[in-house]
């Protein structure tokens, strides 16, 4: 594999993936297509911007002519689709952009890849398509899709489109579904970077509901290694789950963060719950371990400490983000909740 076209490479996971591939495969070149929405930040890849193996094209995956032109020009050996609206809370306020990018954007990519005979396509999906677990059990690749948020529904729709192209057109696609990622370059609307940022400035940490919801945390580099393994060795038409085998309740995670940051638990503020809040995610990733020879490698305690250190030493990166559109979002999402809870 020589050239990979990545979409959404200026976001959290996409930028980590681009850096991982350029850093581990000297023969690879990457074309990054990103619309630079509020979540896309070219600064995330500033360290590779001058690498002759890396090209950035600003553009929207919904724009069929732009995608056809870009794919026609670089003739990639594979397309990896990270581009998405990714935040559940934003999808509750307005599902429109989620339907456009996550569903229509995926359809455009599938059609153009088919027309241009791109030999490999990987759809980066999420465990949220499976819905919510109770106290027991795990999501396997056979778990029926039961998305609960507009975000999850848009991702499930995209997965079904990919499936249908595999079945109908023998399209060479693989779908990966991963649990909650943490690590450097995550947009500070998500739990871990948001809480690190608030704790650092002694602002309240808004825990939804009673904080007993469970997430299965995986380091972003373990996810990137999984995507690479599925891209190189996954079977067309197959789905692969990735998870960290690391279930933590939100309140335990919040306390752990405060402890590592040496901040008091009095900063915890229980606020109104997220509507339709999924109770528990937990991934059975044994298929990926068996068939892709992949396993999560980063221990959560170590990964979390390194992640905290990264955010503490990249204060300006976060401040630049937080001074823009983000401020309005924060007011809208938390202003009332924090005052009235």
**Catalytic site residues?**
127-128, 151
Which residue number, 183 or 206, has a Cβ lying nearer to ligand DAU? 206
Which residue number, 60 or 228, has a Cβ lying nearer to ligand NAD? 60
Residue 123 interacting partner from ligand NAD, ligand DAU, none (CB closer than 5 to 8 Å by kind): none
Q: Does 86 bind ligand NAD (CB under 6 A)?
A: yes
Q: Does 91 bind ligand DAU (CB under 6 A)?
A: no
Residue 7 interacting partner from ligand DAU, ligand NAD, none (CB closer than 5 to 8 Å by kind): ligand NAD
Q: Does 197 bind ligand DAU (CB under 6 A)?
A: no
Contacts of 85 (CB under 8 A, 6+ apart): 37, 39, 91, 97, 98, 101, 102, 151, 154
Q: Does 11 bind ligand NAD (CB under 6 A)?
A: yes
Residue 37 interacting partner from ligand DAU, ligand NAD, none (CB closer than 5 to 8 Å by kind): ligand NAD
Q: Does 223 bind ligand DAU (CB under 6 A)?
A: no
Residue selected from 88, 122, 230, 288 as contacting ligand DAU according to rule CB under 6 A? 88
Residue selected from 19, 90, 155, 263 as contacting ligand NAD according to rule CB under 6 A? 155
Which residue number, 60 or 278, has a Cβ lying nearer to ligand NAD? 60
Q: Does 191 bind ligand DAU (CB under 6 A)?
A: yes
Q: Does 29 bind ligand NAD (CB under 6 A)?
A: no
Q: Of the candidates 62, 54, 68, 20, which has an alpha carbon nearest to the alpha carbon of residue 37?
A: 62
Which residue number, 154 or 263, has a Cβ lying nearer to ligand NAD? 154
């Amino acid at each position: 594999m020589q050239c990979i076209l990545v979409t959404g490479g200026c976001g959290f996971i996409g930028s980590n993936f681009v850096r991982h591939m350029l850093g581990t495969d000297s023969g690879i070149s990457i074309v990054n297509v990103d619309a630079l929405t509020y979540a896309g930040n070219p600064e995330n890849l500033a360290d590779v911007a001058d690498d002759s193996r890396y090209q950035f094209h600003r553009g929207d995956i919904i724009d069929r002519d732009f995608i056809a032109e870009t794919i026609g020009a670089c003739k990639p050996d594979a397309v990896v689709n990270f581009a998405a609206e990714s935040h559940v809370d934003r999808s509750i306020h307005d599902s429109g952009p989620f339907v456009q990018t996550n569903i229509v954007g995926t359809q455009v990519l599938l059609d153009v890849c088919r027309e241009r005979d791109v030999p490999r396509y990987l759809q980066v999906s999420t465990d949220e398509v499976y819905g919510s677990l109770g106290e027991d059990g795990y999501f396997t690749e056979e778990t029926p899709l039961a998305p609960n948020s507009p975000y999850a529904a848009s991702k499930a729709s995209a997965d079904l489109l990919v499936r249908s192209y595999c079945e109908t057109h023998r399209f060479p696609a693989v779908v990966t579904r991963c649990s909650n990622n943490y690590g450097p370059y995550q947009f500070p609307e998500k739990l871990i970077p948001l809480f690190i940022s608030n704790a650092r400035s002694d602002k309240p940490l808004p825990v939804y509901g009673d904080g007993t919801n469970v997430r299965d945390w995986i380091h972003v580099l373990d996810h990137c290694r999984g995507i690479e393994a599925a891209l190189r060795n996954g079977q067309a038409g197959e789905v692969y789950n990735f998870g960290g085998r690391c279930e933590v309740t939100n309140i335990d995670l919040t306390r752990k963060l405060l402890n590592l940051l040496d901040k008091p638990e009095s900063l915890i503020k229980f606020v109104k719950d997220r509507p339709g809040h999924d109770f528990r995610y937990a991934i059975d990733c044994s298929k990926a371990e068996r068939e892709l020879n992949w396993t999560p490698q980063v221990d959560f305690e170590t990964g979390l400490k390194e992640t905290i250190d990264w955010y503490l030493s990249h204060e300006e990166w976060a401040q630049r983000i937080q001074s823009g559109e983000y401020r309005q979002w924060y007011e809208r999402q938390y202003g009332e909740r924090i005052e009235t809870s």
